[in-house]
Amino acid sequence: MIRFAEVAVGSGGEVRCSRCHGAQQPVSYRPTAEIAAEIAMACGSWDEPPGPNVALAGTEPFGHPDLPALVGAAIDAHCRRLCLETDAVAMRSSQNAGGSLMAGVHHLRWTILGGTPGVHDVLLGTPGALDLSVEGVRSFRSIAAEESIPVSVTTVVPVCRHNVHDLPAAAGLAVDAGADRVLLRIEDGGLDLTAALPWIVAACDTGVVNGVWVEVEGIPFCLLPGYDLHLSDAVRERAGAKPPICMDCPLDAMCAGALAGASADQLATLSPPSFAERLAVSVLHARETRAE
Amino acid sequence: MATAPLRCAMLALNSPGYRSLALGYLRAYAQADRRLAGRVAFETLDLDTDVDPWWVAWRVLGLEPDVLAVSVTCWNARSVYEVCRIVASVRPECAIVLGGPEVGPIAEDVLSAHPEVGVVVRGEGEITFADLLAELAGSGKAWRVDGITLRHNGEIVGTSDRALVANLDDLPSPYLSGVLTPVDGGAYLETFRGCPHRCAYCFEGKGYGRIRSFSEERIAAEIEFVATAPGVRTFSFIDPVFNLTGERLKTLAGLMAPHVARGVRLHTIEVDIERIDDGAAALLRSAGVVTVETGPQTIGAGALEACHRPFHADRFAAGLAALRRAGISCECDLIVGLPGDDVYDFLAGLRFVLRLDPGKVQSSTLHVLPGTELWERAAELGLEFDHEPSHEVIATPEVSFRDLRRAEVLASSLQAAYRARV
């Protein structure tokens, strides 16, 4: 419901699974003037309140040689909510955390690959990274509390077959570090959704019982009966609405918002194989398993 | 030989920083009652809800009261009952008298469930409480007092209802009488009793049925007193609709104007936003209003109908826009768990207010309050709620227990994200 315009400060070096994506691409940053112009354009053309809201994303913003100028450009463009998408390691420095807060950065989007060093650090390929990251988020929150600055922290978890079993721990860690929201972003087309489902559900429950909202992106709501509120905003608009991913589903035409009408035979006639089809098979299998 | 006066401890457990206006009225009226002069000694304990009940009891017992009178709301009731149990154990001779919206409408139930409580005052309490004290200090025949429910000869009995105070000016002002000292941000004034709306979930009108106003002279005197009190820069009004009529708003703006010129401001007054245009917003501004609180509570057709709430999205948005043009910040309130609303209706309400960008968005879970229509119709509407205070809804036919809890967490996360701005 509160949308952010994503403005990339550069590329490469994202927090993502090295097993899925291989070696990191080299980091490169865009020129300050170019980013500032994009920020101004995003803010100037903002047409739906509340906003304008900008997230500086793409790669680690604290690596940009001119981050203060980028923040200043957002403020000059009358940005109402400014978010940094970061691994938060730089926030361990009270100067960075305090400086960001005072400058107007009150939203933090913090990416982790798991809730334990054994998953996050290993998948990222950087020993000790998770602890440093958590320390950074805590520093941001603690200075915000001292200064009575309202902030919002979102923990993003890119979900793949290598970390799916660690999702409840990731939600727990996010709670512990002071997140307001956790976003599970399913990005792995080869993920066995049937097997992933219990972990996703457990992560959602872990968040709710601890007062932190967990949102799931990239999964059809038909997979999560009873949990459809956790699906991303576009889906929650109204029961029966479909997320964009449904448009790729071979069952889209016959589906009223759930797979109630589909049979295994119908699925068997579908070709050629696609991610959406695998998804649909997963859904049916999951339903049948539950029914049994 | 003169008898010692009856020691009356008056207790309220308030939100931190606030003082109970209700106790102020009760004490101001009782102190002015000639029957009680020299016969009753009053002591007010205005404490915060976060004080442990055992320490509250410690404070109460330190006063060695003959009567303990407590103002009870759904928010403090659990603590109040615990305090009463402790006080009654240590000082069984102390008469415990409860009043307020949490207990008045369910007086018999309260007395049945809480043997330590002796009397419950029903409805408007000033005259009833003074009459009760007169009986307790004299003949002891409390059963002769109208407007109470009490234990009498081993039974719980209710006396006749008491008529509403015909002329509110007959009630001495808690401020002007010196009973309440205005504190910055925590002082509240009341200009009328009753509410023009009949929302099924709300007890704001307290069943008064009609609106009764204090006189303009009385309101002017209270505003003058509070606005010029040392250290007071902001205060507010508890009126459920500050802009009750255009004429009244104009009067209040005129009374406030000289104080606004000195920098005094009003915070968090409640308005009917759909009746605010640029003219009304300008009057609010000249009354020193910096923040207002309003609905819509819900935008779902089913809940609006079930709760008898009017809602016109365009008029609501126009009112908010007028406030914004006048530089007044708005807090929009929403309730999750109203009958007729499913969880998507609630989310649509959140989306609606967020798109209006009001300044603050606050959602709360329905409390099925004693004395409200929802309390009476809960079974018919299928509302499952906690019968213990604060009577939070557990599940409705439209929203499961788990989805209600999810909606609370989701809304809280959205509110945090909305609040965090440059």
Task: Choose among B70, B7, B32, B40: nearest CA to B173.
Answer: B32
Supply the pLDDT for residue B209.
72
Rounded average pLDDT over A10-38: 93
pLDDT at A228: 79
Residue B404 touches chain A, beta carbons under 8 Å: no
CA distance A38 to chain B (A): 19
Q: What is the ipTM metric for this complex?
A: 0.89
- Interface with B, mutate which of A105, A210, A213 (most B CBs under 10 A): A213
Model confidence pLDDT, tens digit, residues A52-96 = 999 999 999 999 999 999 999 999 999 999 999 999 999 999 999
User: A250 pLDDT band (50/70/90 cuts)?
Assistant: low
Q: Which of A175-184, A262-271, B37-46, B217-226 has the lowest mean pLDDT?
A: A262-271
Q: What parts of chain B have a pLDDT lower than 70?
A: 1-2, 206-207
Find the closest chain A residue to B356 by CA distance. Answer: A49
Question: Residue A260 above 60 pLDDT?
Answer: no
Pick the closest to residue B237 from B258, B213, B261 (CA basis).
B213
| Partners of A181 in beta bridges | A154, A213
Cβ of B344 and A207 within 8 Å? Answer: no
Q: Is A1–B407 a contact, with Cβ atoms under 8 angstroms apart?
A: no
More confident: A218 or B230: B230
| Confidence (pLDDT) at A281 | 64
Q: Is B33 in the A-facing interface, judged by CB distances under 8 Å?
A: no
pLDDT band of A242, cuts 50, 70, 90: low
Q: Is the pLDDT reported for residue A106 higher than 70?
A: yes
Of A151, A229, A238, the CB nearest to B420: A151
**Given pLDDT bands bounded at 50, 70 and 90, which one contains residue A237?**
low
Chain A residue with the nearest C-alpha to that of B360: A50
Instruction: Give the separation between CA B399 and CA A239, rounded to whole angstroms.
Output: 13
Looking at residue A282, what is its pLDDT?
63
Q: Express each pLDDT in B164-184 by its tens digit.
A: 999 999 999 999 999 999 999
Mean pLDDT of A11-40: 93
For residue A272, pLDDT over 80 is answered with: no
Dihedral angle, C-alpha A61, A64, A68, A74, nearest 10 °: -60
Q: B301 vs chain A: nearest CA distance in angstroms?
A: 15
Show residues of chain B in contact with A226, CB under 8 Å. 402
What's the average model confidence in pLDDT over A26-46? 96
Domains located in chain B, CATH noted: 6-158 (3.40.50.280), 182-419 (3.20.20.70)
Measured distance CA(B27)–CA(B9) in Å, rounded: 10
Binary contact (A80, B342; C-beta < 8 A):
no
- A267 pLDDT higher than 70: no
Residues 111-130 of A with CB under 8 A from B: none
Residue A10 DSSP SS3 = strand
- For residue A290, the model assigns a pLDDT of 56
Q: Do A212 and B409 touch (CB under 8 A)?
A: yes
Domain boundaries, chain A: 5-217
Higher pLDDT, A261 or A26: A26
Mean pLDDT for A146-174 is 97
Q: For domain A5-217, say whether CATH 1.20.120.1760 is its number.
A: no
**Is the model's pLDDT at A265 over the cut of 80?**
no
Q: Tell me the mean pLDDT in the region A279-287.
A: 62
Contacts of B356 in chain A (CB under 8 A): 49
Residue type, A188: D
In this prediction, residues A127-150 reach a mean pLDDT of: 97
Assign residue A125 a region (left: φ > 0; alpha: ψ between -120 and 50; beta: otherwise): left
Q: pLDDT at position A277, please?
A: 58
Residue A289 has pLDDT above 70, yes or no: no
B198's tokens: 């009949």
Please check the confidence at residue A238 and state whether its pLDDT lies above 70.
no
